[in-house]
Amino acid sequence: MTYGFRKAGIDVRAGIDIDPSCKETYEFNNPGSKFIEADIKALTFDELKNETGIKENDDNLVFIGCSPCQYWSIINTDKSKSTETKSLLSDFQKFVEHFKPGYVVVENVPGIAKRSSESELDNFVKILEKNLKYKVVKAILNTQYYGVPQNRRRFTLIASRVNLEISLPKPDNRKKWITRDFIGEWNRFPQIEAGHIDYTKFKHTASALSENNLKRISLTMKDGGTREFWAKDVKLQIDAYKGKDNSFKNVYGRMSWDKPAPTITTRFNSLSNGRFGHPEENRALSLREGATLQTFPKYYDFKNKSIGKIAKHIGNAVPPKFAFYIAKQLL
């Protein structure tokens, strides 16, 4: 969000996150924007003021809330670890009520709207509209119509107390961006093998694959193939999918050159966590390919040394191009 807003011309004073591993990458790529390592549940209003210099009732102030979305994701995974973060919208709300910024932006997975009572979204909108007199607009937007080559649907809310004509950014239907527009040798991504480590800032690093996974992807048809191509192989078929060839067909699949990529998640560099197989090469996406499909520029420098941490930072991010569209709408 910070990078996209800055590109649009908005001064981003700070970003708040509880994860210290984000700090170096955040501040290096966004000079002048401060990384505040804090638990939003414990951060006080005075601490935020002292760190950023913001003040109450500032018509030009924007608050952006992008709380962790794992709990509200439709992906069927264990939610126990993400339970603590499911009510962060309410914690964000306290800061909105106190500072009353001119504008408020919220971005999250569609699940936060589908379960709006449980997620506190209903109450959040009610407070904005009834108590604080904000104009609120919200919808599920697909980032593929906002310059991002992904089929990535996101709940997006914009609210303002100073501009009652506020609206969401309009989709650009002139071109649907696809995978081949962003990665491939013609986009300066040389061919590599699974397990390749790129020690340069480019980080065209691909995770290693087990012997069986190398066999699986080598048998998977190029340009959009699924695991059906090795489903009859008793040594390669996975127990959970026996007799369930039509369940979760994206898992272990290859991406298609001429379609938008699937949603880039925190495990996009893993073959077994979605349709993250390279369209042609026998490997999963590299770190830089995932970042590029998220619309980070190729010179964006991910400072962490951990492949898993970098993948998490990339997958958790709001695509900068989508953030740019939102920022331009505010301007």
**Which pLDDT tens digits describe the chain residue by residue (331 residues)?**
999 999 999 999 999 999 999 999 999 999 999 999 999 999 999 999 999 999 999 999 999 999 765 543 444 455 455 445 457 898 999 999 999 999 999 999 888 876 655 668 899 999 999 999 999 999 999 999 999 999 999 999 999 999 999 999 999 888 889 999 999 999 999 999 999 999 999 999 999 999 999 999 999 999 999 888 888 888 888 877 776 666 667 788 999 999 999 999 999 999 989 899 999 999 999 999 999 999 999 999 999 999 999 999 999 999 999 999 999 999 9
String of b and e for 67-97 (b: at least 16 CB within 10 Å)? bbbbbbbeeeeeeeeeeebbbbbbbbbebbe
Instruction: Tell me the β-bridge partners of 215.
Output: none
Query: DSSP code of 111?
Result: H
> Given 69, 96, 106, 291, which residue is catalytic?
69
- Could you tell me the two tokens for 301? 């420098």
Contact partners, residue 21, CB within 8 Å, separation at least 6:
304, 306, 309, 313
Question: Is residue 66 among the annotated active site residues?
Answer: no
Question: Can you give the pTM of this predicted structure?
Answer: 0.91
Distances in whole angstroms, Cα of residue 258 to Cα of each of 46, 76, 121, 147, 179: 51, 28, 36, 15, 6
DSSP 8-state assignment for residue 220: S
Q: Is 232 helix (H, G, I), strand (E, B) or coil?
A: coil
Say how far apart CA 284 and CA 260 lie, in whole Å. Answer: 16
- Domains along the sequence of the chain with CATH: 2-173+318-330 (3.40.50.150), 183-294 (3.90.120.10)
